[in-house]
Structure 1
Amino acid sequence: MRYLLFALCLCLPLPTLSQTPGKIVFTSQPAANVTISTPYTLTPKSDLFFTVHLDSPLIRYLQALAPDADQETVLKQGNYQFSLYVDGRLCYQSNLHPGAPSAAAKTRDTVLSRPLINYKAASASWSEYYWMRFLRNGGDSALTEGPHLLRMEIRPYVSDPVKGIKTGGLIASGELPLIVNRKPFIDTAKIVLNTPTPYNGLVVSHGNFDRNTVKLLKGNIEAGVFPKVTSIAVIRNGQLIIEEYFNGSGRDSMHDVRSVGKSFAGAITGMAIRDGHLRSVDQPLSDFYDLHAFANYSADKAQTSLQSLLTMSSPFDGDDNDDQSPGNEENMYPADNWVKFALDLPVNTVRPKGEWHYFTAGVVVLGDVLHRRLPGGLEKYADQQLFRPLGISRYQWQYTPQGVANTAGGIRMNTLDFAKFGWLYQQRGRWQGKQVLPASWVQQTFTRHKSIPGRQEEYYGYLFWNKTFHINNKAYEAFYCSGNGGNYILVFRNTPLVIVITAEAYNLPYAHPQVNTMLQQYLLPAVLQ
């Protein structure tokens, strides 16, 4: 009887949908019943949430658009279409990917409450990404300083492989008068720069730099123009000239710099070759593993060199920039053995041989090779050969499921210890008169081994990125470590300069662009006098 009733329900006609659009309410907190004063002042530190009240769950609107399709199909092919207008002009319209919100929410909910801007707790949620895309696609230029009217409209859409996209009528709308104040006035007379003090291995410089420009940068970070930055340190001529901390961070704070840690694996590889634990970067994986014991054996996989792992150019079918790639790092993390995950991957027979592709799992394999060959293992060797000579005693590795120091990234230490690592490379491997890292290895590392597809005049060395900055009509080449969130160690080739920036804008699209702005408009002009 239960199944008969269910079948009868499926045969019933869809209820008539209301012709009156639902309401969208804007608030400054994640609650629909919070009253927001209008006009609302939008600053770099503002929060902005919206709550949508619909007449029916989204599934009803989707089924009305595609009455011949079953529920599962329309949920896979349809979702909300969001449109944002500024002063009556459409700035950005997006058909949301069917994956978010969830299928359950789309079949059940008549209330949708989400953040557009969540300054303190920003995450990679779909609604916050939508706002960021809006800013990049016309919203930023439309929201000039002063009064504006922001309007949001929501419609349903269904994408049919044959018929294309079909959009329904308006199902919700709302408006918010704004006073935009996103470019705060920075009174540099009231900004006080931190006075650095000597640090283990680093002396303080009394040299000149453009203090006013650095004050402008500090003021903008504190005002929220550049969110989630936690520290900046600059070493010039071997001396500490700038050291600033933000958002609760301090000199002793341990920063999670994510993929910056990959570059440490490069340094340890050079030391391992120096000490005879590895023969050369040309050694194939077949020297370290029986590749027949893993899935998808091929001669190309067996002959994969350590150098191809260092330069992100191995034949493995793994690309972190491709969500559909079987070797994408997000597929690796749930696995109980990351090395096996990587070595089980097939080779990619479509990608041009030797082409660069970002492949985190390959650096995990490199770390495992090091751990197997180094006396006492990777962690002990790194401590004795790299960290202790630099006077670095306080750091934290993250670990793979097998308990091996994780060379995919995530090593934590304070800002100035990261700066010392950068200065080691700037000085061709020397630290306080001692050759800690072979100069020849630094030279090989700081070689443009691979061009990066899709980026103009950007290259890759041995687990270091490479680009050239143009400041005051002069070119300044830098090799640099880079990590999720906007974390950087920049080592400049033609000037004795190292810059460290740490940040926690993890998975947020503005993380790296804002660091580039900070460098181009503030830090580099200030110190390259």
Structure 2
Amino acid sequence: MRLLLTGILHLLAGIGILTAQNIVKPDEPMSPLQTKYAGKIVFLNAQYPIEQLTEDKFLTAFEFKEGSTLDARLFLKNSLTNYLHELNSSLTAEQLLKNGNFQFTFYVDGKSIYTENLNTGAGTSKGKNQWITLRIPLISPTNEDSWGRYLWSRFYYANGGEDAVFGGKHLLKIEIRPYIKTDSGIKTGTIIAEGQIHFEQPAIQLTEKQIAIQPIETGSGWSISNDGFDKRLIKELNTRILQKRFKEITSVAVIKNGKLLLEEYFNGTNRKSLHDTRSVGKSFASTMTGIAIQEGYLKNENQSLSQFYNLKDYSNYTASKDSIKIKDLLTMSSSFEGSDQDWNSPGNEENMYPTDNWVKFALDLPIDKNKKNAKQWDYFTAGVVVIGDILNQKVPQGLESYADKKLFKPLEITHYQWQYTPQKVANTAGGLGLETLGLAKYGQLYQNKGKWKGKQLLSSSWVKKTFTNYFPEDQNLSGYGYLFWREKFEIEGKSYEAYLCSGNGGNKVYIFQNLPLVIVLTSTAYNQPYAHKQASQIVTNYLLPAVLNSKTH
């Protein structure tokens, strides 16, 4: 009898129902299917409740096309918290969930493509403590808001998954392990679930005419460059864009030595299209600040906010607010408790937009006591709105008129469109609509160190200040100047530095520092995890090599 009981206990422990090591009590299996497939991932083409799930619904093959659904159902022998407890038995359940989660590894045809330690905030505490089955929506035609969909997007669109499975039949495999952060790094456990499926994404067939380099039409206002470039690479780029392997790209333009080298449009756009480049518009606030300073409407960027506002009239006043400078807003390093990177921040831009006064929203914010004397970079859109408001106060006839007179008309940019704050002030937070070649003119102004057609529109000293990295010790930031980003590209062992305007969706204006080159990319991949990464890939793998290999025609 004792032997029989011992055997039963071992059996129960083996399927995760009973173990002396558990720190929390997991759910019990609701069906024989859960027990049979414990430790497995199965794939489905629809969302099925667990009680309706049968083996005949499991997929062995999947074709990825428009409107497809791919769900993964994860069956576990134990709950995640208990697996984490096996990695560190000294922590409480709450501490385990603060420091660990699932690790996903994606393989294609036996090759590891992408591994992600899922953010510790993904999933609920209840689910991690109790659940032994999870539904993970990977591909959803309704863009279901789920960490599973974003996980898939990072694998597929941003980290090589699409290239690995493109244009044929492949074996996709997923392995899941528990991981936990420790003082010495990441510790992972053994595989707790795995599954595989035959995956196919047919290639979109294109003709030579479709992928051909688009001829540059006359009337652009630019001289056309006669320099050579690697046309093979540009055709490959066009192919990827048209096959939607680079997604929602609307235009590409390259200016070399002040002349138009390449001009391409996609997805229904043309030379006259206005592009909503989102936070690219923030850089224009920096430009107008520089012009206002050189014309004497502002003294300098070291003026404090207290010289423009009675800060005591706003909420959460402390004396430290008086020392916040325009420069702190230009470099995204003010001490306001505002962070667009933190959804819980009171100054997150999404909290600003519904209010009826965005400047008041910003100036009402408390000081963040954890920020180090305005030395810590933290992306803060509301601060740029304040810059726009200061300019609107100080320049003749307001910011919109002043920008038209001092920037857009001299650059011969006549077709553009501002968005506005609730106070009807030109919105420096972003959303300024411009044509591709208008963006190229703006980039070339900086490439020319502030000159346009022989006239100094913007002082070269301001351009130098703008193109200075004020955060060289920040390991998480490639660099940031006066509302311009810094990025480096590695091509065949050489490094090429650029400062750039950057906006949601992957919109970019790159101004290279050691090359006579301006590159414009516009895209509508708003809020997509691949947007900025694919822009960098386009420059690194196609545009820069094509231009550098100028002997190839």
Q: TM-score, normalised by structure 2?
A: 0.74
Aligned to 1:405: 426
- Structure 1 residue 522 corresponds to structure 2 residue 542: yes
Who is 1:299 aligned against? 319
Q: Does 1:244 align with 2:268?
A: no
Check if 1:17 corresponds to 2:30.
yes
Q: Does 2:526 correspond to 1:512?
A: no
- Whether contact under 8 Å (2:249, 2:267) holds in the other structure is yes
Paired with 1:51 and 1:523, the residues of 2 have a C-alpha distance of: 37
383, 389, 412: which one aligns with 1:368: 389
Change (3 A) 1:230 1:331: same
Going from structure 1 to structure 2, the CA distance change for 1:50 and 1:190 (only over 3 Å counts) comes to closer
Aligned-residue RMSD, C-alpha: 4.6
Aligned counterparts of 1:455 and 1:324: Cα–Cα separation in 2: 20
Give the aligned residue type for 1:254.
Answer: L
The offset of 1:404, in angstroms, is: 1.4
How far apart are 1:144 and its partner, in Å? 8.0
Q: Secondary structure at the match of 1:178?
A: strand
Aligned 8 A contact 2:137 2:144 in 1: no
Closer, same or farther in 2 for the Cα pair 1:292/1:441, shift >3 Å?
same
CA shift at 1:226, angstroms?
0.8
TM-fit CA distance, 1:443? 2.2
Structure 1 residue 489 and structure 2 residue 509: aligned?
yes
For residues 222 and 144 of structure 2, the distance between their equivalents in structure 1, rounded to whole angstroms, comes to 36
**286-295 vs 401-410, greater mean Cα deviation:** 401-410
- What residue ranges of structure 1 are gaps of 5+ in the alignment? 1-13, 55-60, 66-73, 104-109, 156-169
Distance 2:175 2:476 in 1: 36
**How far does residue 233 in structure 1 lie from its aligned partner after superposition?**
0.5
Alpha-carbon separation, structure 2, partners of 1:113 and 1:459: 36
Structure-2 residue corresponding to 1:383: 404
Partner of 2:441: 420
Name the count of aligned residue pairs. Answer: 491
CA contact (8 A) 1:92 1:139 kept: no
2:275 maps to 255
- Runs of 4+ displaced beyond 6 Å: 22-25, 29-32, 35-38, 80-85, 87-101, 110-113, 121-124, 151-155, 172-175, 184-190
- Structure-1 residue corresponding to 2:150: 129
Could you say which residue in structure 2 is the equivalent of 1:9? none
- 1:289 aligned to 2:309? yes
Aligned to 1:116: 139
TM-score (norm 1): 0.77
Match of 1:221 in 2: 241
Tell me, yes or no, if the aligned pair for 2:166 and 2:200 is still in contact at 8 Å: no
* Secondary structure of 1:525 counterpart: helix
Task: Give per-residue Cα distances to partners, 1:203-235, cap 9 Å, x unaligned.
Answer: 222221111111111111111111111110011
Do 2:332 and 2:379's aligned partners in 1 also have CA atoms closer than 8 Å?
yes
513-522 vs 442-451, which deviates more? Answer: 442-451
Q: Does 1:327 align with 2:347?
A: yes
Check the 8 A contact 1:321/1:358 in 2, yes or no. yes
Measured after TM superposition, the shift of residue 186 of structure 1 is 8.0
CA deviation after TM superposition for structure 1 residue 344, in Å:
1.4
d(CA) in 2 for partners of 1:299, 1:199: 56
Q: Could you tell me how far 1:97 is from its partner in structure 2?
A: 7.6
Segments of 5+ residues of structure 2 without an aligned counterpart are 1-26, 50-56, 84-93, 127-132, 178-191
The answer as to whether partners of 1:294 and 1:340 remain within 8 angstroms in 2 is yes
Aligned to 1:160: none
Residues in 2 aligned to 1:476 and 1:468: alpha-carbon distance in whole angstroms: 6
* Cα separation, 1, equivalents of 2:409 and 2:359: 28
C-alpha distance in 1, partners of 2:195/2:316? 54
State the alpha-carbon separation in 1 of the partners of residues 488 and 102 from structure 2: 40
Contact 1:49 1:113 in 2 (8 A): no
Q: 1:357 to 1:154 in 2, by over 3 A?
A: closer
Q: Answer yes or no: is the 8 Å Cα contact 2:105–2:176 preserved in 1.
A: no
* Mapped partners of 2:160, 2:232: distance in 1: 31
Kindly state the Cα deviation for residue 89 of structure 1 after the two structures are TM-superposed: 10
Which residues of 2 match residues 15-94 of structure 1 at below 5 A? 17-21=30-34, 26-27=44-45, 39-42=61-64, 48-50=68-70
3-state SS of 1:350 partner: coil
1:203 partner SS? coil
Q: Percent identity?
A: 45
Task: Tell me whether 1:338 sits opposite 2:358 in the alignment.
Answer: yes
